[in-house]
Structure 1
Amino acid sequence: MAIAACAAVLLAGATGATTWRAAGDNGKPVGTWHDAPAAARTPVSADQRLGSGQNATPRTGPTATSETPPSSSPVTTPPTEKATVNPPRPGSVERPIESGAANGRQRVGELLRVSKLLGYLGGRPRKETFRYPGASYVKLHFSRIALLPGDYVTVANADGTESYRYDAPENSADSDRWAMSVTGDTAVLEVHRGAPDLLGLGRLAGGLGVDVDRVARGYSRTEQGRQPERQLTAPGRTGREESVCGSDTSADAVCYRSSDPVAYTKSKAIARLLINGTELCTGWRVGTQNRMLTNNHCFTSSSEAYDTEVWFNYQCARCGGYDVYQPTKVWGAQVIATDRTYDFTLFTVDKFASIEKFGHLSLDTRRPAKGQQLYVPQHPAGEPTRIAGSLGEKAGNCSVVDPGYDGYASGSDVAYFCDTEGGSSGSPVLSRATNKVVALHHFGGCPNSGVRGDLLAARLARYL
């Protein structure tokens, strides 16, 4: 474990229960159904046990989408991107994508098939507990939710301090979806009656109920530590540790609160992305509007964004301590633009107002100079926010070694030796001179590298 690692992560792996601090909902149900965009849904790609595969080859060429955003979070859809960029040649980049998984995302859990039905008639339970000892989170998938008027379901952790409410969707076809994850090794699903059944509709409720067909179980700390050896890497590489260049000098973000308050404040704008229930990347708010940026190899479509949880404020409450702040979780919404060569995806989130308070970052329109000091806020291996690159003499190798490094295109990247791990894909690389983003991290291998911020600024200006 790296220096000053949050002890709560270790506890979560050992006991399956993270210590929450400052619970925002006081145990009350929060959240509603997340309305789907008008887009074809994609199959879950991380399910080896279920045998549902997805082509691991990244899509090529740039794309801008014009899919209809969710009604609960309207955004203005920019015009379709007309620029074209040649996709990278197969094999032209030999360094491993940071996340290390076959599809470029860090695996942080597994999918399990279950068959649980909650209903109204005798013999059917109204409450079901899903417990997986040691799991870091539990996430339920509904294949059906059909309820009487006024009734609803909740998914909560064991003690009810994290709870989400779901009403039946108007269209029954929309009930095939994921619930928000709950942290810890237990999820409690319960059907609640909203009002007395004065009309006697319960007699007609034989065909109603809630079906759960899959559960995503987050890996324990021990299981997560074994993942690099099982994930795809380039020949001769051993895994994500290749990206820790020398000894790991990254630290919990909170460790910077007093010594480097600017870096600490900037780190608030990043988010942990839980994709399809079992895979991970990092993303961050770019600009003042409802805009998030991550890598193209993390996801490329609105249907994938829709199944992505975006966790803000997932960080340790005390340097090296045991408490973790309860994250603010929102759903991804619409992909606005994506590009394979420059490895970016720009997207929006649902319930944007709830995450505005965490601030935003800005892309630097200038290429950084060689030797310029950097810092990288990130979620390596899914851990609470960490920052690589200390202030002053301890900055070490976290500086620009090549401002025109070859990525998927000639001279498209900035190279550096800042410490990163699997799950850091999509992290912002900030200049200490400007506190702006000079690179979008995407490659490990020592040196690590990210797509140049000035190139991204030019391509994304119309959307920001």
Structure 2
Amino acid sequence: MAIAACAALVLAGAAGTTAWHAAGSGKSVGSWHEAPAAAGQTPVSAEQRAGERSQPATPGGASAVPGPSATRLAPEKATVQPSAVVTVPEAGSPERPVESGSAQANGRQRVGELVSVRKLLGYLGGKPRQETFRYPGASYVKLHFSRMALMPGDYVTVSNADGTENYRYDAPADRTGRGDRWAMSVTGDTAVLEVHRGAGNLLGLGDLAGSLGVDVDRVARGFSRTEQDRQPEKQMTAPGRTGREESVCGADTSADAACYRSSDPVAYTKSKAIARLLINGTELCTGWRVGAQNRMLTNNHCFTTSAQAYGTEVWFNYQCAKCGGYDVYQPTKVWGSKVVATDRTYDFTLFTVDKFDSVRKFGYLSLDTRRPAKNQQLYVPQHPAGEPTRIAGSLGEQAGNCAVADSAYDGYAPGSDVAYYCDTEGGSSGSPVISRATNKVVALHHFGGCPNSGVRGDLLAAKLGKLL
């Protein structure tokens, strides 16, 4: 698999712990929202085959309500080193999986692991408590709360090392101390957790203080670049095809999105509409805004239900700040919200996000209602192997193999796909395949194997038009 994002090969620290550094804006960002107590059934396309079941929802799907920036205090600090590692089960075999009716891999790329911890932040001592969770080289750190027993008006914050990314979590309204929820991840290798006391609760706690606090029992740690390079791909291949070990077809001609800013400004601008989907805390797909309304599109094999959407982080603007550099923009992160429609045969899930206004500025893409012609040039903005946005297929002769090879390729249905040799990797599932002739989406990428392929955009436009 290509080792290229941001192209920096020598970073500070020991080998194996290289990571992206956030070039943040310094602005505070949000918190979580509450999932419905009982999620309704996910609308499913009429073509969904009878008897198929969605994947079970994962517990602890968190969501968010923006809160103000926390005042930075300097209480006693402690660094939590990784303890016993609970490895997330592999989604498929180490080999490239083959999709079939009896053996089906989920197609999501693994980008992190779960670490078991046991940390309690209490009230005793008369001042806020703070813990620092540091995993050298990690690409992100995501905390899981097993208990939140707080007084009304109290809250906790989770921030990155320099406080430029900051999420606030208020005391549960029901005062039960219930936990089992994931915080939003912070980008980089350090998460700082801090308990803040409300002004009305500084006195009179008495013995009650000993029973109050916040428990953290798990951390999702994003792989470093070196660790990610060792992960097997999780791209799926079309039924009946074995594919290749990788889906970089020939020499890798993809590049950081930032490299297109001047040479191909249209492609660069369009790439802003895609998002990195962090699913279950440790798995990855790509998604993108489709149409001007609050609508996102990814693959059905990435997730299928509103409960799963609630536990999915949607990262916009996770891009290198400079071509060939290693700083990344601080991504704008929102939670998934509601699945509007999903279909296995055409491998799509249409969903909404929470706090839509915060991502509206990144623009959107449109589905092309016409089937592309053979040899028509393409480009594919994507998050391969968890990297910041890359684009396969550049202007002119450098476009190389990124063109339509077959506009009626067999996917899960005869003639349902567009085939191409644009370079993709695990994590590219759900990426838009865009025509250079129209700058509209002609396919929703889902299969590797060289040729790689995506569900035809004209078919999706016909099925989803009324929902967009």
Shorter-chain TM range is 0.7 to 0.9
Tell me if the contact between 1:154 and 1:164 (Cα under 8 Å) persists in the aligned partners: yes
- 1:131 correspondence with 2:147: no
Aligned to 1:42: 58
Structure 2 equivalent of residue 83 of structure 1: none
Give matches, 1:277-426, under 5 Å.
Answer: 277-426=281-430
State whether residues 416 and 447 of structure 1, in contact with CA within 8 Å, keep that contact through their aligned partners in structure 2.
yes
Distance 1:389 1:366 in 2: 21
Q: Distance in 2 between matches of 1:199 and 1:33?
A: 28
Say what the alpha-carbon RMSD is for the aligned residues. Answer: 3.3
Q: Decide whether the 8 Å contact of 1:254 with 1:319 is kept in 2.
A: yes
Contact residue 60 and residue 311 of structure 2 kept, 8 A: no
Flag structure 2 segments of 5+ consecutive residues without an equivalent.
40-56, 62-83
Whether contact under 8 Å (1:2, 1:250) holds in the other structure is no
Counterpart for residue 23 of structure 1: 24
Question: C-alpha offsets along residues 313-362 of structure 1, whole Å, 9 cap, x if unaligned?
Answer: 01011111122111111111111111111110111111100000000000
Aligned to 1:69: none
Q: 1:168, 1:424 → 2: CA distance?
A: 38
Cα deviation, residue 201, structure 1: 3.0
Q: Which of the numbers 187, 192, 207 marks the counterpart of 2:191?
A: 187
**Match in the other structure for 2:8:** 7
Verify the 8 A CA contact 1:282 1:426 in the aligned structure 2: yes
2:459, 2:239 → 1: CA distance? 30
> Partner amino acid for 1:294?
T
> In 2, distance between residues paired with 1:8 and 1:356?
34
Check conservation: 2:139, 2:223, Cα contact below 8 A: yes
Q: In the TM superposition, what is the alpha-carbon distance from 1:158 to its structure 2 partner?
A: 1.9
Amino acid at match of 1:115: R
Aligned: 1:149 with 2:158: no
8 Å CA contact 1:377–1:388 kept in 2: the answer is yes
**Does the residue aligned with 2:209 lie in a helix, a strand or coil?**
helix
The partner residue of 1:178 within 172, 182, 193 is 182
The alpha-carbon deviation at position 37 of structure 1 amounts to: 3.0
Question: In 2, distance between residues paired with 1:305 and 1:388?
Answer: 27
Contact 1:285 1:291 in 2 (8 A): yes
Quickly say closer, same or farther: Cα 1:4–1:271, change in 2 above 3 A: closer
Between the aligned partners of 2:21 and 2:316, the Cα distance in structure 1 is 14
Question: Which is further off, 36-45 or 293-302?
Answer: 36-45
Shift of 1:18: 5.1
CA offset digits 1:85-122 (Å, max 9, x no partner): xxxxxxxx98569xxx9421000010112111111135
Shift of residue 8 of structure 1? 8.2
- Whole-Å Cα distance in 2 between the matches of residues 12 and 276 of structure 1? 29
Specify the alignment match of 1:67 in structure 2: none
Residue 160 of structure 1 deviates from its aligned partner by: 1.9
The aligned residue for residue 246 of structure 1 is 250
Find the aligned partners of 2:195 and 2:413 in 1 and give their Cα distance: 53
Residues 11 and 18, structure 1, Cα contact 8 Å, conserved in 2: no
Aligned to 2:118: 115
Residue type of the partner of 1:324?
Answer: V
Give the whole-Å Cα distance in 2 for the aligned partners of 1:181 and 1:13. Answer: 24
Q: Shift of the alpha carbon at 1:238?
A: 9.6
- Partner Cα distance (2:269, 2:360) in 1: 13
Tell me, yes or no, if the aligned pair for 2:91 and 2:108 is still in contact at 8 Å: no
| Alignment partner of 1:436 is 2:435 | no
* Deviations, residues 154-211 of structure 1 (Å, cap 9, x unaligned): 1112222222111122244763211111122221111011215365135423322111
Q: Give the aligned residue type for 2:262.
A: S
**Which secondary structure state, in structure 2, belongs to the residue aligned with residue 433 of structure 1?**
coil
Shift of 1:44: 7.8
Within the alignment, does 1:272 sit opposite 2:272 as a pair?
no
Structure 1 residues 4, 185: closer, same or farther in 2, change over 3 A? closer
When normalised by structure 2's length, the TM-score is 0.82
Contact 1:415 1:450 in 2 (8 A): yes
**2:273–2:362 Cα contact (<8 Å) kept:** yes
CA distance in 2, matches of 1:169, 1:326: 28
Deviations 1:350-401 (A, max 9, x none): 1100000000000111111111110000000010100001111111111111
Aligned partners of 1:138 and 1:182 also within 8 Å: yes
Distance in 2 (CA, whole Å) between partners of 1:285 and 1:111 is 29
Read off the aligned partner of 2:135 and give its amino acid letter. Answer: Y
Q: Provide closer, same or farther for how the CA distance between residues 185 and 22 of structure 1 changes in structure 2, counting only shifts above 3 A.
A: closer
Distance, in Å, in 1 between the alignment partners of 2:406 and 2:166 is 47
Contact between 2:382 and 2:431, CA under 8 Å: does it hold in 1?
Answer: yes
Contact 1:139 1:180 in 2 (8 A): yes
The one-letter amino acid of 1:131's match is R
- Runs of 4 or more off by more than 6 Å in structure 1? 8-13, 49-57, 229-240
What's the CA shift string for 1:202-221, capped at 9, x where partnerless?
54233221111111011111
2:454 maps to which residue? Answer: 450
Aligned partner letter, 1:105? R
Verify the 8 A CA contact 2:379 2:434 in the aligned structure 1. yes
Classify 1:169/1:131 alpha carbon distance in 2 versus 1 (closer, same or farther; 3 Å): same
| TM-score of the pair, normalised by structure 1 | 0.82
1:258 to 258, 262, 270: 262
Q: Contact 2:382–2:389 (CA<8 Å) still a contact in 1? A: yes
Number of aligned residue pairs: give it.
422
Decide whether the 8 Å contact of 1:18 with 1:323 is kept in 2: no
TM-superposed CA distance for 1:25, in Å, is 3.6
Tell me if the contact between 1:148 and 1:205 (Cα under 8 Å) persists in the aligned partners. no
Which SS does the other structure have where 1:353 is aligned? helix
